A and B are shown apart, each in its own frame.
Chain A
Amino acid sequence: MTGRPGDPDDLERQLVLFGPRVYGLLVRLVGRPDVAEDLMQETLLRAFRSVDTYRPEGKLRAWIFRIAVNLARDWIRRRPRDAAASLDDGSDGPLPSALAGHLPPEADLVRSERSRRVETALARLADPDREVLLLRYYGDLSFKDIAQATGEPIGTVLARTHRALRKLGDLIPEDEL
């Protein structure tokens, strides 16, 4: 899906297919399923409305994730104080339990528990570090695409990735993976 979308019906279908992946990114960035649902819809609507500004040499996925990241950043900047406090206090925060109900129903108990621990550790990273890690290993973007999506130099992206991976690794014991 790298060409310029032409047919509006086809574009609508493509954007709908992006919904779950964009939601997965957003819910881990903002920590609230209800907000992530709204932002997911807003992301894809904005993509639809401004598809004329999309440059075909870039990846459509990277362009959409860039919109999503910007919306998430706006929401995080404006989020109510109590929500910010619960995310930043170093505790588990609302994310893991919020995502727990969104795991695939076929996931077995062990896998769900492991995922919950990873989500918990992920929620404890600094917002910009978590953002880079998710874009790389969940969004499958290249470091170059991440630099474009976040507006940061590629060296900063690599440094954030290193810090985030290391902290995540330190938070999760070997036997929990």
Chain B
Amino acid sequence: MSGCPKNTEWVLYAADELPADRRADLEAHLAACAACRGEWESLRRGLAAMKSLPREPQVRPEAMESLRRRLRVAAAHKAARPTVLAAVRRYGWVAAAAAIVVAAVLWGVRPPADRTPAVRAGDRDVAEEITEIAAAIEFLEGSDLARAAENGFNHSEAPAYDAQEELMRLLERIVTEGA
């Protein structure tokens, strides 16, 4: 072997991915070259360190449950699309109307003094309520209603209308115009 092996060859040697003849060359070189022995020792320690890492650190059960729930919702959305989505959207109208009423009530029951810039934090509360309502609608669309739709009801004549998008647009207007 003329000269020391390339760095990448040491990596392949460590991974046991060198051809047998080349591997024998490197081992012969190691026996004769102190600098490469030092190099190889560093790599070997690095390799041992990586192999000592815990393979699967514990994940909080809450995070795994959240993953399962989100996958179920995604599966329901996938199953609902595109044949029954129009039917689900029809119910989205009802949910949208309910959400608007709730938001309007929450907005209206506060005294006028609350609407001054000094208490704008209250607006954020309303916005958070709206976000929660919208999330609930999304969940219903993706799970219960989607399953109901799969079990037989078919409102293919329902207009192609994105109720959720309209809901968010209306709620945003309530918040911005009311502020």
Q: Do these two chains really belong together in a complex? A: yes
Q: Are B72 and A12 in touch, CB under 8 angstroms?
A: yes
Contact A169 B71 (CB under 8 A): no
* B139 within 8 Å of A (CB atoms): no
Complex CA–CA separation, A8 to B74 (angstroms): 10
Mark out the residues of chain A between 110 and 136 whose CB falls within 8 Å of any chain B CB in the assembled complex.
114-115, 118-119, 121-122, 133, 136
The reply on B135 being an interface residue by CB < 8 A is no
B78 to nearest A CB, angstroms?
7
Interface size class on chain B is 35 or more
For B12, B39, B44, B50, which residue has the most chain A Cβ atoms within 10 angstroms?
B50
Which residues of chain B from 14 to 45 have any CB-CB distance to chain A below 8 Å in the complex?
A: 14-15, 17, 39, 41-45
**Minimum CB–CB distance for A119 against chain B, Å:** 7
Q: Is A114 a contact of B52 with CB atoms below 8 Å?
A: yes
A162 engages B43 (CB within 8 Å): yes
A155 touches B56 (CB 8 A): no
Chain A residues closer than 8 Å to B7, beta-carbon distance: 158-159, 162-163
Asked if B178 is an interface residue, CB under 8 A from chain A, the answer is: no
Stretch at the interface among A67-75, A77-85, A98-106: A98-106
Of residues 53 through 72 on chain B, the ones whose CB sits less than 8 Å from some CB of chain A are 53-60, 63-64, 66-68, 70-72
Q: A20-B57, A37-B63, A174-B45 are in contact. Are A44 and B52 (CB under 8 A)?
A: no
Q: How far is the CA of A137 from the CA of B46 in the complex (A)?
A: 11
| Chain A residues touching B, range | 35 or more
- Select A158's contact among B11, B59, B60, beta carbons within 8 Å: B11
Closest to A115 in B: B54
Residues on B with C-beta less than 8 A from A166 are 39, 42-43, 46
- Near B by CB (< 8 A), chain A positions 128-177 give 133, 136-138, 143, 155, 158-159, 161-170, 172, 174, 177
Q: Name the contact of A45 in the complex, choosing from B17, B41, B60, B74 (C-beta under 8 A).
A: B74
Question: A171: shortest Cβ distance to chain B, in Å?
Answer: 8
Instruction: Give the residue among B8, B53, B67, B72 with the most A Cβ atoms within 10 A.
Output: B67
Q: Is B118 an interface residue (CB 8 A)?
A: no
Interface of A is mostly: helix
With a cutoff of 8 Å between Cβ atoms, the chain B residues found around residue A162 in the complex are: 7-8, 10-11, 43
Is B50 touching A133 in the complex (CB atoms < 8 A)?
yes
**B residues near A49, Cβ cutoff 8 Å:** 74, 78
Say yes or no: is B98 at the interface (Cβ < 8 Å to chain A): no
Binding site for A on B (CB under 8 A): 7-8, 10-12, 14-15, 17, 39, 41-60, 63-64, 66-68, 70-72, 74-75, 78-79
Cross-chain pairs A/B with CB under 8 angstroms, 15 sampled:
A8-B75, A8-B78, A16-B67, A21-B56, A40-B63, A41-B70, A48-B74, A49-B78, A103-B54, A118-B49, A121-B49, A159-B8, A169-B47, A177-B48, A177-B52
